[in-house]
Amino acid sequence: MTDDQSALARFGGTARLLPLPNLVLFPQVIQGLHIFEPRYRQMTGDALADDQLIAMVLLKKGWESDYDNRPAIESVGCLGRITHHDMLPDGRYNLRLRGLVRIRFTEELSTDKLYRVARADMIPDVVPADLGKLTDLRRHLARVVLPRFEAEAATLQHLRNLFDGETPLGPLCDMLAYALPIDLELKQQLLEEPHVHTRAEILVHALRINQPTVDRKFPPDFSEN
């Protein structure tokens, strides 16, 4: 059993929430985090003493007026495992959080903690039985992604290896959705989609229509709470 599988086996259905306004975490990717707010320092300490699990979730629009309290969050987030941490002398943390699985929040709980906690159900990928359809979608996705990186040889080769490798289409879409410079709303839509073929179709369509330019590092590497 891998560390990720062990972590998921320990998940009891109650998630510590890290709501952020500008970041959508996906399964299979690693996000660097700088934890400095007291409530999230407490959350990190509790996670490290327990199951190392934190759920990242996107704040809904309008969060600015209520950020210090309980602004509205999206109904689907990503459960992540702390794979590395450094505690700084003043109590702040630098973390690496690895996305494990989509989760749907069903009920926010009242606790004596500074941070928010919610009950959540895991959302497994739904994979079609038609392998030919998956192969075609993978090919279409490569056609709309690879040309964007022709001027970046190292990144282009990394992506070609990814498309040619054994990574299933679902995780491949998640890695791309996380790393590509697309709108947060689209990222959240892709996170909420459990059907792998639909996720791939949405991503292919969006990239064909929008033709975004690459304006940041692939992949992104750090975020502050």
State the pLDDT at residue 224: 65
| Beta-carbon count within 10 A of 195 CB | 14
pLDDT at 10 over 50: yes
Q: Tell me: the pLDDT tens digits for 43-58?
A: 999 999 999 999 999 9
What are the strands, taking DSSP E only, across 36-149? 53-58, 76-87, 93-109, 117-123
pLDDT tens per residue, range 46-102:
999 999 999 999 998 877 776 667 889 999 999 999 999 999 999 999 999 999 999
Residues 172-204 pLDDT 10s: 999 999 999 899 999 999 999 999 999 999 999
Distance of CA 67 to the CA centre of its chain: 21
**Section 141-156 average pLDDT:** 91
Domain boundaries 3-122, corresponding CATH code: 2.30.130.40
Q: Is the pLDDT of residue 8 over 60?
A: yes
The pTM is what? 0.89
Residue 114 has pLDDT above 90, yes or no: yes
Mean pLDDT check: name the lowest of 62-71, 117-126, 141-150: 62-71
Q: How far apart are CA 187 and CA 204, in angstroms?
A: 13
Q: Where are the domains of the chain?
A: 3-122, 131-209
